[in-house]
Structure 1
């Protein structure tokens, strides 16, 4: 029998050749990655523990009452000043009307003080005339008494009448002064009782306006927690309004990654919502003053003896480009992937400048008191008594 040649040596050589090729390719790719890391990645730190944060404006009732109408629901767009909820205003209307009546009554009662002032002045003049007459009578009787034309008893009565007239003048002056203390030389509108009644009316008017609950900002309705018939109080959170912007990123970097992070460094951000197709550009605007565990409701007590070291994370606040956010809106709580370019180390770790303008503000809930002030002026005008004199 003729034996066939053994192919084993050829297979071994072929296998070894592929192994060497694979090792060479691996080493080549490793070198390429090393070069890429040295040029690009060496100056970057990244984290996927990052989330979108933004403003959540809570809608809370400013007065108690029963809900009669709910105009919005979750995801609805509302503008600043739009009516969200209406409460039953029966009690508020009654209190408002009572405050109007109380102001009118106070104005009328306070005017009595001004009228009394005129009466007291007239009484002083009348008593002074009576005193003058009593003094003259007493002087005449003294002259007659020297001639024994009047009795001692009549002279004594004349003296007592004069003294009584003096007391009447003093009493009238004291009454006038007491009344002036109440008036204090101010106009009717500035009298404390009138001002207090006017303030009570303003408060009643404000409470009536607050039965209509409005949106403080422009945004989207979320976390609605109210229905028609619900009894709400000033502690009841009814819903939340979330504006589209401003939004920012809270990126939780490990403490071992924070050494080179500075305020002002450029940041590239991608979201799980849009994927790698959309890359947001931003910058570092602040580094939190404490870790998440330090600010938690129940912070860790590492001094108890049961201690296990855990790498902590510190929130870094990142501001995004507003145009990109408007083009590709984000929602609060979305996961983000953050990469910070740390090659520029000229920035600061902590900001040294104070904010000079409000971060966010709205005047939509500020009530204009011009209307109720006009109502107060009309009530005072209508209940002011004016004396007319005929020549």
Structure 2
């Protein structure tokens, strides 16, 4: 009996069997050579990255100290009125740039002009008084010369009186000798005696005249000395009264000039506190002018960062105001005299038993290159990122 023919599998059955075989077969593991190759590539990448980082750090970052705790500052000029009065003009507003000498505020100058006129009149009066005093000194000197002549005349009269006394005394003596012999009468003797007494009285009067002339001359000399003392060693420009009056005039003119308030520095007006019509007192602040061109940066570095920082080292700064594309260049110019905590309103008290050390920050003053400031002006109070390069001198 012949064998029955074997059934042939259909195409669908064959495909199903193949799919089952593929699903049940586990994936073949990577070869050892492939794993080694991947590890080698990874190691090379790590080494190259480390080398590049080391190059970047030692070339670009080593010796550079960073901080973002830095702020723009400036020595702002407080504008105050030096005289009191009513404001008639305010020529600037807030945020307005001004140049040194520009007019900011004008105060009513009426009272100041009156003071100037009064001081000018006082100066003229002092000059006239000096001229009068100088003339009186000359007159006093003339009086002294006149009194000297009066003394000479009084002395001449005294000499004449002495001569008369001597003559009458001789005549009286002669009459007394002749009266004994009867050659002279008693009437003649009486007449001679009376003449002698009259001569004595005239001499006393002449002596009093000399004394009076001398006293008058002394008084005139004292008056002349007093008058000369007022003008001795001075001129009409250097006399004390004239100089005092001129100083008052200069003060009045200065007060008049101060009615026009001008900008003390170049900068930007801020914090304006004055209005037209307002009456301000002397010394009252009216606005602030911030000198933008001379702004600086105070960078607060940790004390541990300042080991190698020295005055004169270069600094690179950036600001969020302009972004990282604008780099300002500056130099370290000084260190503050103490940390911020040392000068705070309530200083830290570290005498307790639970004291914990806190790293302090010291302000470092940085001056920015004026060219950079002119190209990109900053404003007071802006934050900055500061990087000091300590690798140079």
TM-score range with shorter-chain normalisation? 0.7 to 0.9
Q: Normalising by structure 2, what TM-score?
A: 0.78
- In structure 2, runs of 5+ residues without a counterpart are 1-16, 30-34, 169-194
The residue aligned with 1:384 is none
Deviation digits for residues 225-252 of structure 1, max 9, x if unmatched? Answer: 1112323233321111223312222111
Q: 1:5 aligns with which of 24, 32, 43?
A: 24
- Within the candidate set 265, 277, 286, 1:217 is matched to 265
Deviation at 1:330, TM superposition (A): 1.4
Larger radius of gyration: 2
Quote the residue 1:359 is aligned against.
none
- Alpha-carbon distance in structure 1 between the residues aligned to 2:104 and 2:134: 49
The offset of 1:24, in angstroms, is 6.8
| Secondary structure in 2 matching 1:311 | coil
**Alpha carbon RMSD of aligned pairs, Å?**
2.9
Structure 1 residues without counterparts, runs of 5 or longer: 11-15, 347-391
Tell me, in whole angstroms, the C-alpha distance in 1 between the residues paired with 2:238 and 2:314. Answer: 61
Out of 261, 265, 287, which is 2:309 matched to?
261
Q: Structure 1 CA distance, aligned partners of 2:109 and 2:308? A: 59
CA shift at 1:25, angstroms? 10
Any residues of structure 2 matched to 1:37-56 within 5 Å, and which?
A: 37-56=57-76
| Partner of residue 202 from structure 2, selected from 150, 154, 158 | 154
Name 1:91's counterpart in structure 2: 111
Residue number among 132, 136, 141 corresponding to 1:121 in the alignment: 141
Single out whichever of 328-337 and 243-252 deviates more from structure 2: 243-252
Which segment is superposed worse, 330-339 or 88-97?
Answer: 88-97
**Alignment-derived partner of residue 341 in structure 1:** 389
SS in 1 for 2:273: coil
2:165 touches 2:203 (CA, 8 Å); kept in 1? yes
Tell me by how many angstroms 1:300 deviates. Answer: 3.3
SS at match of 2:324: strand
Q: Deviations over 1:78-105 (max 9, x none)?
A: 2221110011222222221111111111
Quick one: distance in 2 between partners of 1:264 and 1:26? Answer: 41
Match of 1:249 in 2: 297
Which of 96, 100, 104 is 1:80 aligned to?
100
Kindly indicate which of the two structures has a greater share of residues assigned to helix: 2
Give 2:155's aligned residue: 135
Contact 2:270/2:290 (8 A) holds in 1 = yes
Match of 1:240 in 2: 288
Do 2:126 and 2:241's aligned partners in 1 also have CA atoms closer than 8 Å? yes
CA deviation map 1:43-92 (0-9, x unaligned): 22100001122231111111122222111001212222111001122222
Secondary structure at the counterpart of residue 83 of structure 2: coil
Q: Does the 8 A contact of 2:83 with 2:283 survive in 1?
A: no
How far apart, in 2, do the equivalents of 1:137 and 1:274 lie?
109
Work out whether residues 311 and 333 of structure 2, in 8 Å CA contact, stay in contact via their aligned partners in 1: yes
Is residue 2:373 matched to residue 1:325? yes
SS, match of residue 293 in structure 1? coil
Match of 2:277 in 1: 229
Q: How far apart in 1 are the matches of 2:349 and 2:242?
A: 60
Which secondary structure does the structure 2 equivalent of 1:245 belong to?
A: helix
